[in-house]
Structure 1
Amino acid sequence: MLEFFEYNNISPSESLGPRMQTLESAITKRINALVAIIRDIEINQTLPTKGMLDALFEGIPNPSTKKLSMSFEKAFENLTVQSPPEQNHPNNTDHHDIRKVLDRMKLVKPPFGRPYWKVSLTNSEIAHLKKKYHVYNN
């Protein structure tokens, strides 16, 4: 135990007042040095990176809302507004086609794997639907 006091130049009879003040000033100097290092990092590394990112995104134009002409707006409203389909309309073949396809669907439950739906339409019926609805892939 005496070796500790001798190694640190501390005497049991001596007051620790001035020693504590010097220790406090040494710690304060180290903290100030760390603050200076952090400020240097901010100035030399972080701010240039932020500046480069700002310059990069500066070239992107801001989305602006352009005022459309009244005739175009009215035409667009006419396109987007849809009336509900009439039930007994003679030209309502889409409803008939969908009903026909749904009536020909069967649920298949294999012993292994997930259940799936099977559509039993002839090749001519499928070709007719593709031609009618402008589907040109195989």
Structure 2
Amino acid sequence: MKDSYQKYHFSAISIKKEVARRFRAFSKLVSDSHTHTLEAIMNFFERNDLSPNDDLGIKNNRTNKRINALIAILKNIEKHQTLPTKTMLDTLFHEIANQEDQEGKEENFVFETSEPFSRDTEMEHYRNRYEEIQQHLGNYKNRMQELLERMTYVKGTFGRGYYKLNMDENEFERLKNEL
């Protein structure tokens, strides 16, 4: 090892003691000599077109959480926007292909003109819909009142208390299916 260093000419660099200690510890992890370590560091920065002052921002949990959130957003977009759009386009192309197969067959569609809603029938429609919604809301309020009546407060021995719902599993499953 000493023979390989004899062909090199060394130069001294003055740096602070704390920095020199850190570099020596780091150098032991990276390479067998300080020269090779420093060379590897410089090659890395040059090869990746980086500066030591660049903030890559990937060394903390907050950044990892942001990256995970971005991944979740992209998966959500793919699931709720891209895949349904692809399905619709596939269906459309499938229908076009079916129409091209049936080119010889023409169908005549007759569109009937419907009478426009009058103000009274439109108001009647909205009134009926409002009453239906009010009835559903009343049913939900009654179910919630029943649930609240079945709840009891249990005081915790070592911690905070909690509410317990006195309902068997079958009743709970029926309630979930109703809602």
Which has the higher relative contact order, 1 or 2, with Cα contacts under 8 A spaced 6 or more apart? 1
TM over 0.5, yes or no? no
State the structure with more CA Rg: 1
**TM-score under structure 2 length normalisation:** 0.24
More helix by share: 2
